[in-house]
Amino acid sequence: MEQPLPLHQNTTQPPEVRAADLVARLTLDEKISQMQHAAPAVDRLGIPEYNWWNECLHGVGRAGTATVFPQAIALAATWNTDLLAEVVTAIGDEGRAKHHEAARSGNRSQYYGLTFWTPNINIFRDPRWGRGQETYGEDPYLTARFGVTFVKYLQGDDPKYLKAAACAKHYAVHSGPENGRHYFNAVASPRDLWDTYLPAFEALVTEAKVEAVMGAYNRTNGEPCCASPTLLEEILRQRWGFQGHVVSDCWAIDDIFKHHRVVETAEEAVALAVNAGCDLECGCAYGALVGAVEQGLIDEPTIDRAVTRLMTTRFRLGLFDPDEAVPYAAIPYSVNDSAEHAALALRTARESMVLLKNEAGFLPLPKTLKRVAVIGPNADDLHVLLGNYNGTPSNPVTPLAGIRAKLPDAEVVYARGSSVWGSHTEGYDEALRAARDAEVIIYAGGLSQAIEGEEGQHESVPDDEKSMGDRVDIVLPPLQQNLLEQLHQLGKPVVLVLINGGAVSIPWANTHLPAILEAWYPGQAAGTAIADVLFGDYNPGGRLPVTVYRSLDDLPGFHDYDMTNRTYRYFTGEPLYPFGYGLSYTDFAYRNLRLSRETLADGQTLAVTVDVQNVGQRAGDEVAQLYLRHLNASIPAPRHSLQGFQRLALQPGETRRVTFTLESRQFSLVSAAGERVLEPGEVQIFVGGGQPSDETPSAVVTVSG
């Protein structure tokens, strides 16, 4: 008589049931071994080795050749979640293909698993933060929409299996400074917590059903994030109903006793973390769980809970099932770095470009130019195009290469001029000689991973140039600024192309140069996309996902997590370029703004329609942006807040009606106690091509509470 399959081998059983059965068969030592990112095989039960650590921030990272899309901040600058869905589908396909190709050859090493520690949905509250480039900008609504899209399309839509497991990070209230992240206590008021820092995480958990959440290094309001009962149990699991697993940031468990010093020993720290709900550690401190059990600091059922959650994810990914049973296992390796994905990377880079200045229609440049000088440290540097957490492109295009390809009959001269940062000016003379006889000078500068990024990423950079990955100032580095001014003195028109992640303040350039293009870290197709915009083969339509401040004088201290005077929602000064800003080679008009109702009660929806017309002479993209402004609220409210956006491609003269559907919750405010309140009163609704102004069409709805 045939014996029934053990539950964990029965593919008809739910993944939680299979996981619980498998965990029940493990010894305590085996269970603990599965709670660290490099989980060893348990051969007697057919559990293969698995490394949980993988990255796909803007393409599959650190696993060899892959399609490299624009950096996350650039993806946000597209303001196009439909495009992001295509990008993430491609990323997920490449990740699946790489995993199975590696597994077939017995490679189960780091960066070949299906658990991707992406996306980073922290709020880019301060432009000094080096990791802000990994985020979707400063706005909770924009961040949530991009984060939800990323998670849904990475995890796939199969009813049984995940395509990949996404991870919402870094939970919570984490956005620098990098040099203090291992011991810093981020103090956030209940209002700021629920108004700014938590909404995107809530959306990814409740709406996108993200499979994993990563705890941050820092403490939040006194509790280490990876051992916080408030964050991990009360909010994440009880309030939001999170069903997945929690992973620590890498070696963050060590911080609990070594740097935060909330306990004295490793055994106490690991017990604190697992008891609070941190199931998986990136690192090796969880080996101390053996001693923690012996000391009575944690019991085995709590460890069972954590390992069951982890095994549930592995079952949901199909990692214990034959490939023929898992639809995503059939994705061919040929999708990796494919021509289709390369075309998508180019389209995405084009859509991410933000035109900041175009005096008297100086751009686009004519292709009849005979001599062009391309100057700057980022003009011909392949690495600088890729941002961080990146893969390796097979055929990257620098700005210099893109411009030369665009002007095959012109003389395009190049000089680097200087490095991104530092004090060495010996390249100035060569740059000035190269530019002297040019009709137009294109300067490609900005930042690089040398001066913005993650803690420990840039040991070679002098201390006075950075703070462990953060910037000490937000201006263009002086070495570049001085060269830019000398080039301007030649009397030739200078076009500035910025390549960077964090916002760069350029008040001098904004006053003196005819054209400025923000290109971010544009990925493998950078040079082609930049040249397409500069020479008119693509009409730029990107918009800023951050505020560009004029100087550090506009900002509170970096260690201050209070949102007062931060981001467009609370900043009371005059920015150099506002959040949502971006120019086009054509013009757009908004007309006939209408509301579906005059009053709004709790639980109701409001439809907002407006006609958008391209009133210029060229086809182009517009980003219609909807903002709310509370006119008579008793609760402190943002100046205004984004609550809807749509990117439209319009031909000259074309008009399209845009509809936004708003939920009543979007009209709520957060009280001092951190509670969302739908307060009676009037709310003004603006729809236009940027933040509200006197010219922006608007209407008022009365909220009845």
Element of type H or E holding 429? helix 428-436
Strand order in the sheet with 681-688: 599-600, 698-703, 681-688, 620-630, 641-650
Residue carrying structure tokens 């908004």: 590
Q: Of the listed 93, 126, 249, 454, which one is catalytic? A: 249
Ramachandran assignment for 439, one of left (phi > 0), alpha (psi -120 to 50 degrees), beta (any other): alpha
Task: Please choose, from the candidates 323, 215, 320, 201, the residue with its C-alpha nearest in 3D space to the C-alpha of residue 276.
Answer: 215
Looking at residue 694, the DSSP 8-state letter turns out to be T
Burial of 391-400, coded b for 16+ CB within 10 Å and e otherwise, reads bbbeebbbbb
Token pair of 329 as six digits: 């296992």
Q: Known catalytic residue: 249?
A: yes
Q: Where are the beta strands (DSSP E) in 92-192?
A: 167-171, 185-186
Please say whether the beta carbons of 500 and 516 come within 8 A. Answer: no
- Within 8 A by CB and 6+ apart from 29, the residues are 290
Cα 522 to Cα 44, 73, 241, 357, 581, distances in angstroms = 48, 10, 37, 19, 18
CB 571 within 8 A of CB 189: no
What is the C-alpha to C-alpha distance for residues 388 and 701, in angstroms, rounded to an integer? Answer: 44
**Residue 632: CB partners within 8 Å, gap ≥ 6?**
681, 682
The residue whose two tokens read 């053996």 is: 290
Q: Is 452 a catalytic residue?
A: yes
Element (H, E) at 591: strand 588-595
Measured distance CA(78)–CA(473) in Å, rounded: 26
H-assigned helices in 507-659: 507-512, 526-534, 567-570
- Tell me whether strands 212-215 and 245-248 are parallel, antiparallel or unpaired: parallel
Residues 489, 428 contacting (CB under 8 angstroms):
no
Q: How far apart are CA 151 and CA 165, in angstroms?
A: 8
Which two tokens mark 624? 């219609």
Catalytic residue among 452, 465, 470, 621: 452
Sheet with strand 354-358: strands edge to edge: 354-358, 515-518, 494-499, 440-446, 371-375, 411-415
Residues annotated as part of the active site: 249, 452
